[in-house]
Amino acid sequence: MLEARALTCVRGDRKLFTDLSLRVGSGDCLHVRGENGVGKTSLLRLLTGLAKAESGEVLWNSQSIASEPSVFHRELLFLGHRDALKEELTALENLQMYAALDDVQLPLEKALAALARFGLRGRENLPVHCLSAGQKRRVLMARMLTRGARLWILDEPFNALDIHAVAELEKLIAEHLASGGLLVLTSHQAVNLSKVKVLDL
């Protein structure tokens, strides 16, 4: 269970929100919505522990995420809306690098199968700077699949995806939720998933 209690977020000289509370349980998807600049990314950064709230707290399985950050981070996958890929490494090397950083076992066949699932067969060994914007997002989908994290926090994951990739990402998310995973995402588009809870900022 991910829980936020009475969060207040200040950025610069603006108070973005106050007294914001939420709960996301196993199998739940929370869609955070709102206009540009309202504070969606800022909220996600509080939920990941990357930023600290002015007041309030974030809990993972009833423990403050600040108390044992490494325990929380083992269960978390956060994708920001800038592609967190090393441009000079290949798609395959990026997956392998993240697996090493995340301390996840990733056999070569599994990495190749993940890239193939998202339409990157034959492009595994191209440096990421040679991939299109949508292909880079597909590498990140392969990372989501191979990471094995319980909690996904995704900032605008549908950006730059074509219709097929949107459907593939929805399927990947549905599988994650069906296996008891949790998801918080932002999206300016409607999210085509069953049982989505909405938080309007």
Ligand X SMILES: Nc1ncnc2c1ncn2[C@@H]1O[C@H](COP(=O)(O)OP(=O)(O)OP(=O)(O)O)[C@@H](O)[C@H]1O
- Dist CA 168 CA 122 (whole Å): 19
Interaction of residue 42 with ligand X, rule CB under 6 A: yes
Q: Are strands 182-186 and 29-33 parallel, antiparallel or unpaired?
A: parallel
Among 5, 8, 33, 38, the residue binding ligand X under the rule CB under 6 A is 38
Q: Which range touches ligand X (CB under 6 A), out of 34-42, 127-135, 158-166, 170-178?
A: 34-42
Instruction: Select the residue interacting with ligand X from 8, 41, 159, 187 (CB under 6 A).
Output: 41
Does position 33 bind ligand X by CB under 6 A?
A: no
**Cβ atoms of residues 154 and 84 within 8 Å:** no
Among 11-19, 66-74, 95-103, 138-146, the segment contacting ligand X (CB under 6 A):
11-19
- Cα separation, 120 vs 175, in Å, equals 20
122 binds ligand X (CB under 6 A): no
Question: Total number of residues binding ligand X (CB under 6 A)?
Answer: 11
**Per-residue b or e along 118-156, where b marks 16 or more CB atoms closer than 10 Å to that residue's CB:** bbbeebbeeebeebeeebbbbbbbbbbbbbebbbbbbbb
Closest CA to 113 of 72, 76, 145, 71: 145
Please tell me whether residue 11 binds ligand X under the rule CB under 6 A: yes
Q: Does 40 bind ligand X (CB under 6 A)?
A: yes
For 178, other C-beta atoms within 10 Å of its C-beta total 9
90 touches ligand X by CB under 6 A:
no
The verdict on 39 binding ligand X (CB under 6 A) reads yes
Question: What minimum distance in Å lies between the beta carbon of 31 and ligand X?
Answer: 13
Binding site for ligand X (CB under 6 A): 11-12, 16, 34, 36-42
